């Protein structure tokens, strides 16, 4: 369906801001002061929080609020908050992004949105900016050789939720992004990596996304989720210093069809969590594991991998002092051929707990002893 067809189907030609919910809540509060329960009943019947037709806005805990504290638990809901802006074309979406304010909820109608899209305005802890849709709301980058499907460009407190990104060189790129959530997206058919947090992107959550069919431009760059920056690119991205993309939570994602690692955690990153993800390595051609950890102090727990002909999880010391103090627990590695479920080379104070398991015809648990 073309953008114009989407527009006709929605019977809209401009970005529309809606106010009934706000009005209903304000009136409800006023009436509550003088009429108590009567006011509450009126608000529910007219679009207040909890009504069936008008779901409550996202809670204030939508994103982490303390930049000094690692994200330990995924927050927020898969439920799209009540829209403040509805869009049905690429031009409308660009206009909404350019004019976004804290608390805005930009709702994507089903259809195709062609081109690249950029977020460059900050939300706040109490009022994040949300872009919300379904997997029938498709951001199409126009080709796998250049551009980002969606770019979080040095912003804070954004939520990207529920829509699809495809046909771009890179799916979702976060540069210098903090306290933001990438949740429930479907990212597929991209030239390089699907989701990338870099340039001191900290305290973010990448949760419940479905990633597939990466590396269509260059298989070497076809990671599913990529955290940080390789040392060879530090001078381009982080003033020749390690890229401190720290304390990010990567949880509950389903990753398959990647030509390189399902998750690549780069040297220079620290204190993140990789938890409860599912990896299928059937398409790996430029990597020998699902997960490669080169950062420090990461917790890798409760993940499940299948179809890896070499190792499952690895650590590496690419730069002196990095690739250490990582903890592996409760992970399951189902290898296709011979290999190590957990290859910690060098061991470098990494911890392999005995709760990890490995299976496969010639698979071994690890090159190091596990710890109870």
Please report where in the chains the tokens 């990104």 appear, as a residue: 165
Structure letter (DSSP) for residue 133: -
Coil/strand/helix, residue 310? coil
* Length of the chain counted residue by residue: 372
Predicted confidence at residue 79, as pLDDT, reads 84
CA-CA-CA-CA torsion sign (282, 283, 286, 292): negative
- Sequence-distant (≥ 6) Cβ neighbours of residue 175 within 8 angstroms: 151, 152, 153, 154, 198, 199, 201
* Tens-digit pLDDT profile for residues 101-128: 999 999 999 999 999 999 999 999 999 9
* Tens-digit pLDDT profile for residues 320-354: 999 999 999 999 999 998 899 999 998 889 999 99
272, 246 contact by CB (below 8 A): yes
139, 113 contact by CB (below 8 A): yes
Q: Is the pLDDT of residue 239 over 70?
A: yes
Q: The pTM is what?
A: 0.81
Domains in the chain and their CATH numbers?
A: 3-15+70-366 (2.160.20.10)
* Tens-digit pLDDT profile for residues 3-57: 333 333 333 333 334 444 333 433 333 333 334 333 333 333 333 333 333 233 3
Mean pLDDT (the chain) is 85
Q: Is the pLDDT of residue 135 over 50?
A: yes
Q: Is the pLDDT of residue 67 over 70?
A: no
Predicted confidence at residue 20, as pLDDT, reads 40
Structure letter (DSSP) for residue 239: T
Distance CA 118, CA 269 (A): 25
246, 273 contact by CB (below 8 A): no
Q: How far is CA 245 from CA 100, 172, 198, in A?
A: 25, 15, 6
Predicted confidence at residue 72, as pLDDT, reads 56
| Short-list 344, 339, 345, CA closest to 362 | 339
């Amino acid at each position: 369906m073309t953008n114009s067809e989407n527009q006709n189907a929605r019977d809209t030609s401009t970005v529309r801001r809606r106010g009934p919910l706000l009005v209903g809540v304000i009136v409800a509060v006023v009436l509550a002061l003088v009429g108590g329960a009567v006011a509450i009943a009126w608000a529910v019947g007219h679009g207040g929080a909890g009504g069936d037709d008008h779901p409550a806005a996202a809670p204030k805990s939508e994103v982490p609020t303390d930049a000094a504290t690692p994200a330990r638990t995924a927050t927020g809901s898969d439920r799209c908050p009540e829209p403040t802006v509805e869009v049905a074309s690429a031009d409308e979406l660009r206009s909404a992004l350019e004019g976004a304010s804290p608390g805005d909820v930009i709702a994507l109608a089903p259809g195709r949105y062609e081109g690249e899209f950029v977020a460059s305005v900050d939300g706040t802890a109490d009022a994040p900016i949300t872009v919300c849709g379904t997997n029938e709301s498709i951001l199409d980058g126009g080709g796998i050789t250049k551009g980002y499907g969606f770019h979080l460009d040095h912003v804070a407190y954004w939520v990207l939720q529920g829509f699809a990104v495809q046909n771009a060189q890179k799916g979702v790129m976060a540069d210098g992004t903090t306290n933001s959530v990438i949740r429930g997206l479907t990212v597929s058919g991209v030239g390089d990596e699907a989701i990338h947090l870099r340039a001191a992107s900290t305290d973010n959550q990448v949760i419940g996304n479905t990633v597939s069919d990466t590396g269509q431009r260059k298989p070497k760059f076809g990671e599913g989720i990529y955290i940080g920056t390789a040392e060879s690119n530090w001078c381009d991205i982080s003033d020749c210093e390690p890229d401190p993309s720290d304390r990010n939570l990567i949880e509950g994602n389903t990753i398959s069809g990647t030509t390189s690692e399902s998750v690549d955690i780069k040297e220079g990153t620290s204190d993140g969590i990789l938890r409860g993800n599912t990896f299928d390595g059937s398409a790996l051609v430029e990597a020998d594991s699902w997960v490669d950890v080169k950062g420090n102090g990461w917790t890798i727990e409760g993940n499940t991998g299948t179809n890896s002909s070499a190792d499952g999880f690895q650590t590496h010391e690419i730069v002196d002092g990095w690739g250490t103090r990582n903890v592996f627990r409760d992970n399951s590695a189902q290898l296709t051929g011979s290999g190590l479920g957990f290859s910690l080379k060098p061991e470098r104070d990494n911890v392999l707990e005995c709760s990890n398991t490995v299976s496969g015809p010639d698979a071994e648990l690890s090159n190091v002893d596990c710890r109870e």
